[in-house]
Structure 1
Amino acid sequence: MGLFDFLKKKTADTDQPVQQNDTPYINKNWNVLIAFEARLIEMGYDVKRHAQYLALIVNDELEISFMVVENLDNHPNIMHLMVAASHQTYFPDGIIESVVGAGYSFEEQTNTALDNYINSTFVTIMDSFTDSHDPDLDFITIVNCKDVLWHPNLGTLNAQGQWNEYPTGEPLYDLLKSEIPNQLTTNKINWLKIYISKRADGEIIGECLFNNVPWEVASNEIFDYAKTWEMPGEFKGLKNNLLCSGDATRAT
């Protein structure tokens, strides 16, 4: 069973939750779903609950599943949340994201985790289905002997840890934008996930995934970038997502 399948727990599993002092594991996933459902309805989206799985269907096209990751090493005020978003046509294997929520209560942790997911990933995915994009970032490539106009949609740059000055602009995208056209497939939507971090002892951890596949060239670029960082504290990191939607009918 893959991670995406594991996230899609059957709704029936939550019918008889185990009662214990802390919020039961399945109940946590269910409560996150209810909170996200309310948030999306407030944002104006059409939201339905999946008839079989612990998942939401947004605008009749995007399926979103959740899993709260239980780890005894986690600080009690921190939630680790895995979110999988899938589209039957464009990304059936799912775009899987890991986000963190912080707070003294489960509700506070849920709200901050959902804030992080919405701002970094969800809005970017939904924008890729529409004409909502920055035309200054558009570019054209040739796919199957046809000109395709690509609309890059950038998520919010997430800076973590301690910085003397937070990065401005789009430093991760700027590093990789010249290489991205060479990676694009015939899929209408391609996506890139970038994460890079550095510790005070010089250890660097990161990854670049293009359509869920490790992209070594990009990883080398961001690792070299992180080597130049000054370290005012114990840790700092950057995270960003990019979705490129292609339009062969408008490339002129």
Structure 2
Amino acid sequence: MNNKIFILALLSSHSAVFASSQCSNFTGEIVQKVSFSEAYNAVTPHAPKDEFETTEQYNSRVSEQKSPSQLVIYRKPDIKSFDGKDLIFYDADKGVLKISEFAFYNMNIGAHLFSKYNTPEIDFDFNSMFFHSVPFSENLVSTDNYVAENNFGVKVNVRRDHVTAELLIDPRKKGTSVPLFKNIYPYSLSSRENNSVIGELKLLPNEAKTVKETSFLAFVVEPVNPIKFQKVYTFPEAQINKPYEKNYTTKVLVAHIKCGLWLDKESRVLGSYEINFEANR
């Protein structure tokens, strides 16, 4: 009983501004979150129906494969962008802690290379369509060097990094240049903040500092076929004037992304955001 009173008291001190949607039902709730690795290991791909398998046999086999229909996958937020700008930032004059869309995925691991031409596991084409993809991690495994030569006989010593990565892909088509979440301010070419702020929390300075330092981000997802696979590719590729390349071994989880969540250290949802599939903005 005391725990419930504490939760209600804590929530009452937070005044939030978020777009209303079914995702808002998560706000204030404590969710059971899992890591990307845990989610990847928890789901089981369904092998397609065999030529000599009846529909009844196929349905029976699929029903026996126990796999979660919905997962809440978390990660630590990206606090700063590649150029040092804050992605979760506090306005002390207004007493508001703001979160940027890019706090959820400020990382580029070459997701555009997952096209139908080299990824038969999934039916989409990054060269002609646009999809939401969210990198969860990138880890350096090893580094080596090799000598490369172009058609004119020019040789160069190339540094090559070998990395592992985790990537969440929603295969549904979206419009070009559509952000992952809808911004709460009007779009502006001149204001970086207006281009990316998706939520605010009215907090005292000490509360805001704690949230910024200890919060998590999460995605509510529903796995869809082919559910998961692993892909090996190179991004970027080495050039004579840029003798560096990165070889990826990436675990890919395929799912419909339902909501983005901002969690406190107790996994309580501070803010919830609906995934955006507008044609264009």
TM-score by length of 1: 0.28
Instruction: Report 1 or 2 for greater relative contact order, CA contacts < 8 Å, sequence distance ≥ 6.
Output: 2
Q: Which has the larger radius of gyration?
A: 2
Q: Structure 1 or 2: larger helix share?
A: 1
